[in-house]
Structure 1
Amino acid sequence: MAVTQQLARVSAEYLAACRTRAEESFDGDHQWDPPTADCLDLDWVPAMLDRACEIAGVGELHLAALRQATDGGLAMDVGFLNAHPHAIGPFGPAPAALEPLAVRQVSGLLGEIDLQAVLAVVPLDIREAGALIGHGAEGLIDGPRTYLMDHFDALREFYAGASKRGLAVVSWWD
């Protein structure tokens, strides 16, 4: 099984309920199970997208927002999601979360990134693209440009939906 970047849109109330269940359970079971419609599997795109944006000259503010969008933040304590034997991300860094205000800010900044300008720096030749952005890009079936575009569009839509609904976003690798 491959380890991939996962995101979930959840309410503060849902996180509080999971925390309470973890605290009250003899084995720390938080019963984390967000709706499938509010989950996003980003595969391995975060590092490739970050690298492509760096090469394209995306500004630091927007790069920071992209990194927050995939890595989460430190403002919300979701450590209870990382407790054995019910850890949701046992193969990567501890789960992290962005609170609704940060989600709204990140969503706005993601919306300002010119993806076409980013894709313009990615060579059409798969081997050249792989050499430039790394992280296994040369092995992508539809090529790095399509992969980056599809995943970035999904990320941007995911955050726009979370922002509109006032939800937090939890990230983990699984």
Structure 2
Amino acid sequence: MVDGCGLDLDWAIWGLIKSFRWAHIDAVHTNALERSITGDTGGDIGFLDHPEVYDGFGAPPALLPPELVTEIAHWLDAIGVGKAIAQLPEDGAEAARACGFEGFDGNLPAYLGQHFDVLRYFHHSAARRRLAVVTWVD
């Protein structure tokens, strides 16, 4: 979760993205969710591309400039996660499979909802302070 100026979404981000696709959430909102963790090309952050920061899993660190952080915060507000979660199968095991969480035995809607709210809060906080965000998956 939020730790100082960092954010750890656990594996929830992948379940959120899959739940948006499952629910056929429009591309604008799904892309905003994806960009919140993949960043944008460009930006002078190549200095972060080393083993102490980036372990080689996925793409190297990327930058979300302040104006894009604000845009993403807006789009995350506009859709919310409730619509995507409501479209998931009622059966917990089937919903977990739809999100790529085979064997998940917790409360999936609560798990996804909590992490989405933290993601939205993080982007709002950064946008309010006009901060850029560096993203990467580790």
Same-fold status (TM-score > 0.5)? yes
Q: Is the 8 A contact 1:72 1:170 kept in 2?
A: yes
Please report the RMSD computed on the Cα atoms of aligned residues, expressed in angstroms: 1.8
Q: Is 1:129 matched with 2:112? A: no
Tell me which amino acid in the other structure corresponds to 1:52. Answer: S
Q: Is the 8 A contact 1:99 1:167 kept in 2?
A: yes
Q: Return the TM-score normalized by structure 2.
A: 0.89
Q: Is the 8 A contact 1:66 1:106 kept in 2?
A: yes
Tell me which amino acid in the other structure corresponds to 1:41. Answer: D
Q: Is the 8 A contact 1:62 1:113 kept in 2?
A: yes
- Normalized per residue, the structure richer in strand is 1
2:27 — aligned with what?
A: 60
Q: Return the TM-score normalized by structure 1.
A: 0.72
Q: Give every structure 1 segment of 4 or more consecutive aligned residues whose post-TM-superposition deviation is greater than 4 Å.
A: none
Structure number with the bigger relative contact order (C-alpha 8 A, sep ≥ 6) is: 2
Distance across 1 between alignment mates of 2:76 and 2:28? 10
Superposed displacement of residue 141, structure 1: 4.2
2:62 — aligned with what?
A: 96
SS in 2 for 1:170: strand
Distance across 1 between alignment mates of 2:133 and 2:103? 29
Q: Is the 8 A contact 2:37 2:137 kept in 1?
A: no
1:76 to 43, 46, 50: 43
User: In the TM superposition, what whole-angstrom CA distance separates every residue of 1:64-113 from its partner, at most 9, and x where no partner exists?
Assistant: 111110111113231110135x3x12141211110101101111011111
SS in 1 for 2:106: coil
Task: Give unmatched runs, 5+ long, in structure 1.
Answer: 1-5, 8-35
Tell me which amino acid in the other structure corresponds to 1:147. Answer: Y
SS in 2 for 1:122: coil
1:19 — aligned with what?
A: none
Q: Is the 8 A contact 2:126 2:132 kept in 1?
A: yes
Tell me which amino acid in the other structure corresponds to 1:63. Answer: T
Task: Give unmatched runs, 5+ long, in structure 2.
Answer: none
State the structure with more CA Rg. Answer: 1
